[in-house]
Structure 1
Amino acid sequence: MTCPICQKDTDAKYRPFCSRRCADIDLGRWLKGSYVIPGTAQEEDDPAPSGQAPEENPRH
């Protein structure tokens, strides 16, 4: 198996990476949002699931 960052052979200690450096590079990419899972965009503050209207007068 090769490192997904630099293509060198992996090290069992850092698998699937070859070194801590490559593992840190990958983590940095995740934290910056460089990796994205494809899908439809949704509102961050949308309180109701799609297809359902929120209740206007909830009963307690």
Structure 2
Amino acid sequence: MSCPICGKETSPDSRPFCSKRCADVDLARWLNGNYAVPSDDPEDIEAAIEAAAQAAASTDRLH
């Protein structure tokens, strides 16, 4: 198995990474928001809450 950061062979102590350094690089990427899950939700939280409420109301009307 190769390290997802640098491609070197992984170390049993740092798996799935080759070293603590690569593990720290990966953690920094998560904390900086470099890794993100795409979403169709509005970025504005108030708009997201309103959209969720409208979706729930639509579902309620169907049942």
Q: TM-score of the superposition, structure 2-length normalised?
A: 0.69
Instruction: Tell me the percent identity.
Output: 47
Higher helix share: 2
Question: Which structure 2 residue ranges, 5 or more long, are not aligned?
Answer: 58-63
Q: How does 1:1-60 map to 2 (within 5 A)?
A: 1-42=1-42, 43-45=44-46, 46-47=48-49, 49-50=52-53, 51-52=55-56
Q: CA offsets per residue over residues 23-53 of structure 1, 9 Å max, x none? A: 0000000000000112213333444534136
The one-letter code matched in structure 1 to 2:56 is Q
Q: TM-score of the superposition, structure 1-length normalised?
A: 0.72
Question: Which structure 1 residue ranges, 5 or more long, are not aligned?
Answer: 54-60
Between the two proteins, the alignment pairs up a number of residues equal to 53
The one-letter code matched in structure 2 to 1:32 is N
The one-letter code matched in structure 2 to 1:52 is A
RMSD after superposition: 1.9
CA distance in 1 between counterparts of 2:35 and 2:45 reads 18
Off by >3 Å, runs of 4+ in structure 1: 45-48
